[in-house]
Amino acid sequence: MISSVTPKKEWIILKSSDQIVNNSDVYEDDNSFIFVLPKDGYYIIDMYMLVGYNSEVADVKLKWVLNGVSMWNRVVFGKGSSSTESKNAETVQMGGPTSGETVIYGTDDTQASSIQEHLLITGSKGDSIKLQIAQNVATVVDTEFWTGSYMVVKKY
C-alpha cells in the first residue's frame, strides 16, 4: 500500500505584473519566475501561465534554466503550435524536454492560451531556477504573459 506524503514546505509564486514581448524570438527571463531552491530534498513545481491574445504566427516558447539540479523530469500541456519543431506541445510530453530545451506553444488572436508545466526535481545544491520566455517567431505584435499566472513549489 502506498501512503500519501505531505510536503515539508510549500511556496506559491505569483506573477505580479504582465510581461510583454514584441518582435523578439530571443529569450528573456520571466520577471516573476526566478527563485532559489533550498539545498537537498525532492521538489514538485507546478506552473500555470496565461498568455494573452497573440498572433498565430508568433506563438511562444519557454525554457527552464536550472543550475545545481541533479535530476529532473518535465511534463508539459498546452495548445499545439503550427511550428514543425519536434518539441512543440501538440500532445502531453513527459520527461522529454530537458533543462534549457525549448518547448513551443501555440497562440492565436481570438482567445488567451493556458500553459501548464510540471517539474520533478530530485536534488538541489541551493542554486537558482528561472523560466525564460520569448516569441517563437519574432513578430511585431504584443505577446502578453499575464498577471495571475503562478507556480506552486513543494518540497518533500
What are the pLDDT digits (tens) for 18-65?
Answer: 999 999 999 999 999 998 888 888 889 999 999 986 677 888 899 988
What are the pLDDT digits (tens) for 84-119?
Answer: 443 444 545 555 556 678 888 877 776 677 888 988
128 forms bridges with which residues in the sheet? 36
The answer to whether the beta carbons of residues 67 and 142 sit under 8 Å apart is: no
How is the chain split into domains, by residue range? Answer: 19-155
The answer to whether the beta carbons of residues 120 and 42 sit under 8 Å apart is: yes
CATH number of this structure's domain 19-155: 2.60.120
- Whose cell is 511556496? That residue is 11
Q: How many CB atoms lie within 10 A of CB 80?
A: 13
The answer to whether the beta carbons of residues 144 and 18 sit under 8 Å apart is: yes
The pTM of this model reads 0.84
